Amino acid sequence: MPRQDFDPATVKPDGRPAARATLFDPAAEVPWRGSIDGIAIGGPVTVLAYGTDTPGVGPRLHVHPYDETFIVVQGNARFFVGDMTLDASAGEVVLGPAGVPHRFENLGPGRLQTIDIHHSPRWIQTDLE
């Protein structure tokens, strides 16, 4: 059954053009790393690519004034979000709510690759360690 969640006639285009930017080089042998601020392409979210081949390694503890959604593309990660610890594998999604300190690390074996969606048109972060 096809989806019909809203009436398309009720939404008017806002005049923004489609846009494109390079987040990472998919041909590179190294883990993907990069970021695109939403403001650079006229969008409401900022997108990061993060990868590491080293178990135990990941971003330091930090916090944002907006939600962050993590998509595990490859490997296994351990997320520390406030008082919670969540393990996630390729194909799973984790939410870091606004104002809640968080970090994650590669559980191994092998490469961890994530796509991190910052619910803001620009990347705003305070490192806590």
73: nearest Cα among 33, 17, 39, 114: 114
Q: What is the pLDDT of residue 65?
A: 98
pLDDT, tens digit, for every residue of 16-27?
999 999 999 999
CATH number of the domain at 39, please: 2.60.120.10
Asked if pLDDT for residue 9 goes beyond 90, the answer is yes
Which is it for strands 34-36 and 102-106: parallel, antiparallel or unpaired?
unpaired
Q: What is the pLDDT of residue 111?
A: 98
Residue 62 lies in a domain: yes
Asked if pLDDT for residue 1 goes beyond 90, the answer is no
Residue 100 lies in a domain: yes
Residue 9 lies in a domain: no
pLDDT, tens digit, for every residue of 47-103?
999 999 999 999 999 999 999 999 999 999 999 999 999 999 999 999 999 999 999
Domain holding 115, by residue range, is 30-127
Side by side, the strands of the sheet bearing 34-36 are 34-36, 46-52, 112-118, 68-74, 93-96
The total number of structural domains that make up the chain: 1
What does pTM read for this prediction?
0.93
Residue 61 lies in a domain: yes
Residue 1 lies in a domain: no
Residue 104 lies in a domain: yes
